[in-house]
C-alpha cells in the first residue's frame, strides 16, 4: 500500500471522528460580536483555544495573539482595516507543522466566526444534529465544515505514520463576517507560504477567484408637502416627491445593469456584476410627499477592476460619476445632488488557473473521484490578502455557499469527508510526505 492509499484508508476508517470534530466546532457558538446589539463576550476565543489544544496535540508549534487595530494603521483605505476595532478576547491562531523543513509549504486558512443564528430554525443551531447524512447548524457551511476538513486532513497524514517534507500552516482567524480584519492581521503578522487553500464552501469545486462587494446608500432629497393638496412648481416652493426622484434613478440603474451584464463578466463566474437594490427607505407620513429617500445597493466588482489600494475605488468612482450624470438630466436633482454613502468595500482576488498550484488542486480533486471543476465565487472571501502578498490561493471546501447564513444551514457529510481527502491529497502532492 502506497503513501496515498494509507492516508485515504485512515480517513475512511475515521469518518465518525471527523464528523464528531465538526460537531464540536458547531457546539461552540463563535458568533462575531458585531451581530450583537449589546456588547457581549465573544466565543471566538473559546473556539480558538479548543483548536489550539487539538493542533498542539498533533505536534504543531502554536502562536495565538489578539489583533491590535492601532498596529495596522498603515493599511488605512485598504481591505480589512477598521480603525479602533476591539479584538480583546478575539485571538487569531497559527499552528505550524514541519517548521524548518524544506520543501513547498502550504497555508490552510479559514475563519472561525459565524453570523448570529437568527430565527426560524427547526433544530438547535448550535447542536450539530445529523439528519439523513447532513449536519445542521450555524457555521456548518460558513465555514466550520471547511475548517474541520483542513485540520482533519493534517491529522490523517500524521496519524498514518508520515511526516511532512514541506511545512503546513493551519491559520484560523476571527472577524471575516464583519470585514476581514483578522485575515489582514494574520498576513501582517508575517505568515507566508508557497500556496494557500482557503476552505470556504464551494460545493467541492476549485474557486481561484472571488468578486469584490460594495455596499452603498444613495441619499435623495425631496421637499415635503401635503400629499392631498395642489402643489406649485418646485421652483416656486412646491413639494418634490423624493420617491418619484428615486424611481427616476432606479430606471437609470436598470439601464446601467444592462451595460454591466455585457461588460462585467468573467469566464469562471455564472452571473455578471450588477448593482442590486437591497433596500428602499423613504417617507414619513401617509399625508406627506417624501422629504427624502434612500436606495441601499450591493454592487459587485471583478479583480481586474481593483484600484491602486487593491479595493473598489475605480468602481466607486464609476458609480459616483453615473449618479452625477443622471442627476444632471433632472432639474431638481441637478440643484439637489444625490450623494452616495459607502458602507462596505469587501475586496476580491484571483489566481491564474494555469498556475501549477491550481492545476495540482484540480488533479488532486479528480484523483478522489470528483469532477475537478473550476468555478469562481460571486461573494467575498478572505483570499485577498494572501494573494496581495504573492501567495497563490484557491477557495475550496464542503457545503453549498448559497446555504450560508440561512436558517437550518446544513452540509452533506459526504462532502466533508471528500474535502478531507482532497486536502490530504494536496498535502501529499504539494508538500510531499515521508515515513515518520
pLDDT at 41 over 80: no
- pLDDT at residue 277 is higher than 70: yes
CATH architecture observed for domain 212-346: 2-Layer Sandwich (3.30)
Every domain of the chain and the residues it spans: 3-210+348-435, 212-346
pLDDT of residue 123: 96
Residue pLDDT, tens place only, 229-241: 998 888 889 999 9
**pLDDT given at position 39:** 65
Catalytic residue among 4, 44, 175, 176: 176
Global pTM reads 0.93
Q: Is the pLDDT of residue 1 over 80?
A: no
pLDDT tens, position by position, 300-317? 999 999 999 999 999 999
Annotation: CATH topology of 3-210+348-435: Aminopeptidase (3.40.630)
The mean pLDDT of the chain is 95
pLDDT at 37 exceeding the cut of 90 = no
Q: Is residue 254 annotated as a catalytic residue, yes or no?
A: no
Mean pLDDT of 253-281: 97
Active-site residue, from 4, 44, 113, 177: 113
Find the range with the poorest average confidence among 52-56, 186-190, 234-238: 234-238
The answer to whether residue 370 scores a pLDDT higher than 70 is yes
Mean pLDDT of 260-288: 96
Mean per-residue pLDDT, 26-46: 86
352 noted as active-site residue: no
Share of the chain above pLDDT 70, in %: 100
3-state SS, one letter per residue, for the chain: CCHHHHHHHHHHHCHHHHHHHHHHHHCCCCECHHHCCCCCCCCHHHHHHHHHHHHHHCCCEEEEECCCHHHHHHHCCCCCCCCCCCCCCCCEEEEEECCCCCCCCEEEEEECCECCCCCCCCCCCCCCEEECCEEECCCHHHHHHHHHHHHHHHHHHHHCCEEECCCEEEEEECCHHHCCHHHHHHHHCCCCCCCEEECCCCCCCEECEECEEEEEEEEEECECCECCCCCCCHHHCCCECHHHHHHHHHHHHHHHHHHHHHHCCCCCCCCCCCEEEEEEEECCCCCECCCEEEEEEEEEECHHHCCCCCCCHHHHHHHHHHHHHHHHCCHHHHHCCCEEEEEEEECCEECCCCCHHHHHHHHHHHHCCCCCCECCECCCCCCHHHHHCCCCEEECCCCCHHHCCCCCCEEEHHHHHHHHHHHHHHHHHHHCEEEC
Amino acid at each position: 500500500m502506497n503513501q496515498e492509499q494509507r492516508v485515504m484508508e485512515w480517513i475512511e476508517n475515521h469518518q465518525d471522528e471527523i464528523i464528531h470534530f465538526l460537531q464540536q466546532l458547531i457546539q461552540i457558538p463563535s458568533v462575531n460580536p458585531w451581530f450583537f446589539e449589546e456588547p457581549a463576550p465573544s466565543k471566538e476565543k473559546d473556539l480558538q483555544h479548543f483548536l489550539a489544544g487539538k493542533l498542539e496535540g498533533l505536534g504543531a508549534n502554536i502562536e495565538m495573539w489578539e489583533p491590535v487595530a492601532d498596529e495596522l494603521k498603515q493599511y488605512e483605505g485598504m481591505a480589512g482595516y477598521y480603525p479602533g476595532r476591539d479584538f480583546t478576547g478575539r485571538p487569531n491562531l497559527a499552528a505550524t507543522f514541519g517548521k524548518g523543513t524544506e520543501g513547498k509549504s502550504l497555508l490552510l486558512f479559514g475563519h472561525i466566526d459565524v453570523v448570529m443564528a437568527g430565527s426560524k430554525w427547526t433544530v438547535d443551531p448550535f447542536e450539530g444534529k445529523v439528519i439523513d447524512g447532513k449536519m445542521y447548524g450555524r457555521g456548518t457551511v460558513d465555514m466550520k465544515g471547511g475548517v474541520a476538513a483542513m485540520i482533519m486532513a493534517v491529522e490523517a497524514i500524521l496519524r498514518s505514520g508520515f511526516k511532512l517534507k514541506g511545512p503546513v500552516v493551519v491559520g484560523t482567524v476571527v472577524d471575516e463576517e464583519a470585514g476581514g480584519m483578522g485575515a489582514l492581521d494574520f498576513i501582517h503578522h508575517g505568515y507566508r507560504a508557497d500556496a494557500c487553500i482557503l476552505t470556504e464552501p464551494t460545493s467541492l469545486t476549485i474557486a481561484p477567484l472571488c468578486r469584490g462587494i460594495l455596499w452603498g446608500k444613495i441619499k435623495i432629497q425631496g421637499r415635503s408637502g401635503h400629499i392631498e393638496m395642489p402643489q406649485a412648481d418646485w421652483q416656486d416652493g412646491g413639494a418634490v416627491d423624493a420617491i418619484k426622484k428615486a424611481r427616476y434613478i432606479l430606471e437609470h440603474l436598470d439601464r446601467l445593469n444592462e451595460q454591466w451584464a455585457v461588460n462585467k463578466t468573467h469566464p469562471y463566474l455564472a452571473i455578471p456584476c450588477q448593482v442590486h437594490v437591497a433596500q428602499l427607505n423613504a417617507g414619513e407620513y401617509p399625508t406627506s410627499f417624501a422629504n427624502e429617500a434612500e436606495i441601499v445597493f450591493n454592487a459587485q466588482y471583478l479583480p481586474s477592476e481593483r484600484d491602486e489600494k487593491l479595493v473598489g475605488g475605480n468602481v466607486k468612482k464609476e458609480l459616483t460619476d453615473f449618479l452625477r450624470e443622471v442627476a444632471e438630466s433632472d432639474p431638481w436633482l441637478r440643484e439637489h445632488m444625490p450623494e452616495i454613502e459607502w458602507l462596505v468595500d469587501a475586496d476580491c482576488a484571483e489566481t491564474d488557473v494555469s498556475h501549477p498550484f491550481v492545476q495540482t488542486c484540480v488533479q488532486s480533486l479528480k484523483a478522489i473521484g470528483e469532477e475537478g471543476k473550476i468555478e469562481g465565487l460571486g461573494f467575498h472571501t478572505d483570499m485577498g490578502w494572501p494573494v496581495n502578498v504573492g501567495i497563490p490561493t484557491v477557495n475550496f471546501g464542503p457545503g453549498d455557499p448559497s446555504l450560508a447564513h440561512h436558517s437550518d444551514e446544513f452540509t452533506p457529510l459526504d462532502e466533508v469527508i471528500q474535502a478531507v481527502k482532497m486536502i490530504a491529497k494536496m498535502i501529499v502532492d504539494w508538500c510531499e510526505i515521508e515515513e515518520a
